Structure 1
């Protein structure tokens, strides 16, 4: 059963969809113009764009992604995004992000 949605950043809502110690699935819902501020963490992260358009920067490399696109963020890589068109990202983290519980 999914967890409730919570505010993550201005214009960004986060909802844990499933979790186990080895893996966590999280939906991030962005308003247009909202940002996932640059950050890093020790987890491997995969991101799938369910809807919307996003400009991602991962380890200094920037690219634009839309529905159906995905990327992988290596452990400890500085990454962030700007939402160009409102949408939803589905992120997977391994191991689980205990700070999201």
Structure 2
């Protein structure tokens, strides 16, 4: 696949308040999130490197014990195996890029 419309990818609720559309390549996973206001993301860690960007809204992100409030255009880099958590301050649109591909999310785009 070379072209796809994001709106044609079936959304999935991964956690309460977190709905996502995934795009997978051979080496990366892109996650396009719609997050409801006041939705928490429990602390977790994974071997994937992650880059997170707030597209719309405000999101509070804690990475390795450091907490920042992020807004549109803000980017956070989450190294491999570093604990992180979050909270949607407002309704948000977020984009995450994971490398390598998120094996646990494969097969979830349609």
TM-score by length of 2: 0.86
Q: Distance in 2 between matches of 1:28 and 1:98?
A: 18
Alignment of 1:76-91 (within 5 A): 76-91=81-96
Q: Which residue of 1 aligns with 2:26?
A: 21
1:21 CA drift (Å): 2.3
Gaps of 5+ in 2: none
1:80 CA drift (Å): 1.1
Which of the pair has more CA radius of gyration? 2
Runs of 4+ in 1 over 4 A off after TM superposition: none
1:98 CA drift (Å): 1.1
Gaps of 5+ in 1: none
Q: Distance in 2 between matches of 1:36 and 1:93?
A: 17
Matched residue count: 100
- Aligned with residue 57 of structure 1, among 55, 58, 62: 62
TM-score by length of 1: 0.94
Q: Distance in 2 between matches of 1:14 and 1:77?
A: 22
Superposition CA RMSD, Å = 1.0
1:31 CA drift (Å): 0.5
For the pair 1:8 / 2:14, whether they are aligned, the reply is: yes
1:95 CA drift (Å): 0.5
